[in-house]
Amino acid sequence: MDAAAGAEAVAGRQPPSVLPAVVSGAPQAPTYPDLVRDLADRGLLTGRWREVFEAVPRSRFVPAEVWRQLPDRCESVVGVDAWLALVNSDEPVVTQLDDGAGGGPGVATSSNSMPSMVARMLGLLDVLDGQRVLEIGTGTGYVAALLCERLGDDLVHSVELDPVVARRAAEALARSGYRPHLRVGDGEQPWPGLGLVDRLIATCALRYVPYALLRQVRPGGVVVAPLAREFWSGALVQLHVQDDGTASGPFRGGATYMPMRGHRVPDLHDVHGKGRARAAGLDPAQVLDLGFALYAGARLPGVRLIHQNTDAGAQVWVTRENGSAATAATGEEVWQYGPGFLWEEIEQTWWEYETEGRPDADQFGLTVTDRGQHVWLRDPSEVIRPARVRLARPGVGRPGG
Ligand SMILES: C[S@@+](CC[C@H](N)C(=O)[O-])C[C@H]1O[C@@H](n2cnc3c(N)ncnc32)[C@H](O)[C@@H]1O
């Protein structure tokens, strides 16, 4: 079982919504103005963001060598027409594989994110004139350029871990006339001497929100970040920093970003022993619903999940550190391994979730303190507590193959 394919995804793996215009029967590649118009028509560019996007062509921040993210791999983009079509579409553009090391498995490690995701995140950031912003993950420099266009160079700070990526971004920004404050380093660590910012945006996925990050944001400030955990592969969170330095706020829909380097989701645990088969009481495709994934992630901490779509629906694999594991595919029986009955715990958690009225992802939120983070439902006081691990009783469970 390989978690890497599920973990190392690129921002927004949804079909492009900008279709080639048809003029006199001949399809024409979309242009950048088409892309911006599409984002505006979808209500994603509120306030001054439309004119800001119009002023910053994405193509200026995309290098010649790029890849398209497919569900299971990255595909090299060959030729100017294909390059332009990708850059002017609402798709992520992969700009680095395998942290820049040659001969690797071809996993995307830097990209110019999906424009609609960028627009959503900047909208959630809710910046006002005169506010200082910190971005984590400069990548190609496109988001930094949008922020410079919106706020002015001096209010924008951006940190990138990879020196090669950082240098390329600095050059692209300078060529376009933008000079934000740039730093090469680990964005998880405080930026020395930065002082407090009003807004923080992470453009790489976090497994948790490091408290050290919050300490860089003034009370009343806003943090927008994609989170990805063992059980769920990506959701945006919008946190408001409180006077006591803690932060709390709602989840704001799905977002599949490549992870911050120190936050990569680990592979599944090792699984040993004979499987035990039983009929499924739950279609595994339901487990992938983001609302349920947030709920189950909080109830069953430490349980890792990966999935792949199948013609019938989905196949999922789940594991826990104690060797408990299960795999289930739509329309097939479930196989459980090791101690306990992990699939039954997931089904039990599903029934709890149903009893809660199957809340969608936006009804969940997150609170971060100096002691960690916890997910809540509907109100910050309604923290979702971990369920007790149910271990197997001897002789329980049907033998399988
Ligand atoms: C999706 S890309 C960012 C896209 C970027 N905002 C843009 O406009 O092109 C994520 C970036 O985060 C960077 N990154 C990963 N871990 C990091 C860390 N610990 N600190 C800073 N940057 C990091 C990656 O190298 C990658 O370039």
CA angle 235, 382, 368 (to 5 degrees): 55
* Catalytic site residue from 89, 110, 111, 113: 113
Q: Whose CA is nearest to atom 11 of ligand 1?
A: 137
Q: Which atom of ligand 1 is nearest to the CA of 143?
A: 8
11 lines ligand 1 (CB under 6 A): yes
pLDDT at 264: 83
CA 288 / ligand 1 centre spacing (Å) = 26
- Closest Cα to atom 5, ligand 1: which residue? 139
pLDDT band, very low/low/confident/very high, at 268 (cuts 50, 70, 90): confident
Indicate whether residue 228 lines ligand 1 (CB < 6 A).
no
Q: Return the sign of the alpha-carbon dihedral for residues 295, 296, 300, 303.
A: negative
Band of pLDDT at residue 137, cut at 50, 70 and 90: very high
Taken in order 291, 18, 74, 169, the sign of the CA dihedral is negative
Tokens 């992990």 belong to which residue?
A: 342
- For residue 218, pLDDT over 50 is answered with yes
CB count in 10 Å sphere of residue 224: 23
**Cβ neighbour number for residue 382 with a 10 Å cutoff:** 12
Does 362 or 270 have the greater pLDDT score?
A: 362
DSSP secondary structure of 83-139: HHHHHTSSS-EEEEEGGG-TTS---EEEEE--HHHHHHHHHHHT--TT--EEEE--T
Which residues have a Cβ under 8 Å from the Cβ of 240 and sit 6 or more positions away? Answer: 220, 221, 222, 247, 248, 249
Residue whose Cα lies nearest atom 13 of ligand 1: it is: 137
Task: Give the pLDDT confidence of 59-111 residue by residue, as tens digits.
Answer: 999 999 999 999 889 999 999 999 999 999 999 999 999 999 988 899 999 99
Answer yes or no: 381 catalytic.
no
Asked whether 143 lines ligand 1 (CB < 6 A), one says yes
How far is Cα 96 from Cα 76, in angstroms, rounded to an integer? 11
Mean pLDDT of the chain: 89
C-alpha 77 – ligand 1 centre gap (Å): 21
* pLDDT level of residue 242 (50, 70, 90 thresholds): very high
**Ligand 1: centre distance to CA 285 (Å):** 31
pLDDT for residue 390: 62
Residue 315 CA to ligand 1 centre (angstroms) = 30
Q: Higher model confidence: residue 23 or residue 181?
A: 181
Nearest to 91 by CA among 117, 64, 60: 117
Cite the DSSP H helix spans in 131-268.
Answer: 142-151, 163-175, 211-214
- Ligand 1 centroid to 202 CA: how many Å? 8
Percentage above 90 pLDDT, the chain: 75
Q: 110 CB under 6 A from ligand 1?
A: yes
- Ligand 1 atom closest to the Cα of residue 188 is 19
Q: What domains sit in the chain, N to C, each tagged with a CATH number?
A: 4-263 (3.40.50.150)
Say what the pTM is: 0.89
Q: Is 113 in the pocket of ligand 1 (CB under 6 A)?
A: yes
Residue 306 pLDDT class (50, 70, 90 cuts): confident
| Cβ 216 under 6 angstroms from ligand 1 | no
- Report which residue type is found at 128: L
19 CA distance to ligand 1 centroid (A)? Answer: 28
Any ligand 1 atom below 6 A from CB of 165: yes
CA distance readout (Å), 261 to 68, 166, 241: 21, 15, 25
Mean pLDDT over 187-197 rounds to 95
Q: How confident is the model at residue 248 (pLDDT cuts 50, 70, 90)?
A: very high
The response to whether residue 352 sits with its C-beta less than 6 Å from ligand 1 reads: no
